[in-house]
Amino acid sequence: MENLPETKLQFPAGFLLGAASAAHQVEGNNIHSDWWEYEQKGRLPKSGEACDHYNRYEEDFGLAQEIGLNAMRISIEWARIEPEAGKWNAQAIEHYKKVLISMKEHGLTRVVTLWHWTLPKWFADQGGFENKQGVEAFARFAWFVAQNLGREIDLWITLNEPEVYVLSSYKQGVHPPFEKSIYLSWRVTENLIEAHKAAYKAIKEALGNVPVGLAKNSAYYAPYRKNNPADRLATYIARALDGYLLEKIQNQLDFIGLNYYFYNSIKFDWRTGYKEMNGNFNEAERTNKDMSEYSDMGWFLYPEGIYYVLKNLKKFHKPIYITENGLADSVDSRRPKFLRETFKALMNALKDGVDLKGYLHWTLTDNYEWHNGFGPRFGLIEMDYVSQQRKIRPSAAIFKEIKIS
């Protein structure tokens, strides 16, 4: 691994420095969810016991503390809390209460997501967020969690990446319910917007003035030809469309959660229209690429892009947390440089007046990466899925280089 100089960075007092995860990807045996059902039918890779985080959360939070983290983002699995419509699982509530208390005991600020893509099977069978009733059901779930766990949660995230969910589930059709429908894409998007608003209201009614936000995936958009008017206009439109969701909910938003992974270079061709020339590639093209600039998933690595996205989000006048950012890197060869360059970009954003409050890396441990299964390795901690052994990767040492004061 390349020897790099220590990062000389100092973040403001109170800055959150942590990692993120999602229940279905780490807990294991999420048997009442729509994903589990499709896994058993062979439509998706089986998640099985995943990282067994449901039973090993103490160990994982201990490792987070050991590598110098002061925060964790987790999600609470709706399918465990409400395995049948209107029937609440007291045992699941008690479990998550223990999880949240353990986080606090390990010195971790508790950032909690209510919905990270998986749905209770009964809810999916009723159409999920395709229906207005789905908005009401989600708001009821948010209220119930607030009533029972609210005092153990520091920051609330209602929804994770609504647009990516719609893209994967209703445009590309690679995630449940495997639809390809323009109409359903629009309807689900609008219902997710209303679901956030309803959950925001429910949490506030239950707990008062607690911080509630949303995790939004935003790419960095740049013109493919910097001086080409058509490319510049197409880039402007792409950025405007990316801000649609936040525009719709900005009055029900205490902070913005930013998930940043992608650089999209925009080229406009008068014959074929808008194109994203982002440099990403598929497995068949791997041998022709310089892998130092790409993740194991073929995603082009452009850490400095996070600076420009943060500057663009400044217009909303909200505190911002990086709620996800990372790369698949099984041999840990690119992660050190990626992290150092990312942290430098964050420092520059702070110097330029961005109200940045924290950084949560994706992810703490390797995990089940949705339809890609257990192949991609995003973790600061390496997983052996057979033995469930955890091993801290060398890149994790970077977090201890950072001073917060």
Please give the mean pLDDT across all residues of the chain.
Answer: 94
Lowest mean pLDDT among 81-90, 106-115, 212-221, 272-281: 272-281
pLDDT of residue 279: 58
pTM: 0.95
- CA 221 to chain centroid, in Å, comes to 19
Query: pLDDT digit string (tens) for 163-213?
Result: 999 999 999 999 999 999 999 999 999 999 999 999 999 999 999 999 999
Q: How many CB atoms lie within 10 A of CB 94?
A: 12
Q: How far apart (Å, rounded) are the C-alpha atoms in residues 81 and 63?
A: 27
Region 370-386: mean pLDDT is: 98
Query: pLDDT digit string (tens) for 23-48?
Result: 999 999 999 999 999 999 999 999 99
**Helix or strand or coil: residue 382?**
strand
CA distance between the termini of the chain: 30
The amino acid that residue 196 corresponds to is H
Q: How far apart (Å, rounded) are the C-alpha atoms in residues 348 and 328?
A: 25
pLDDT of residue 4: 44
pLDDT of residue 276: 60
**Does the structure show a pLDDT above 60 at 289?**
no
81 CB burial (10 A radius; 0-12, 13-18, 19+): buried
**Helix or strand or coil: residue 254?**
coil
Which neighbouring-strand residues pair with 390? 383
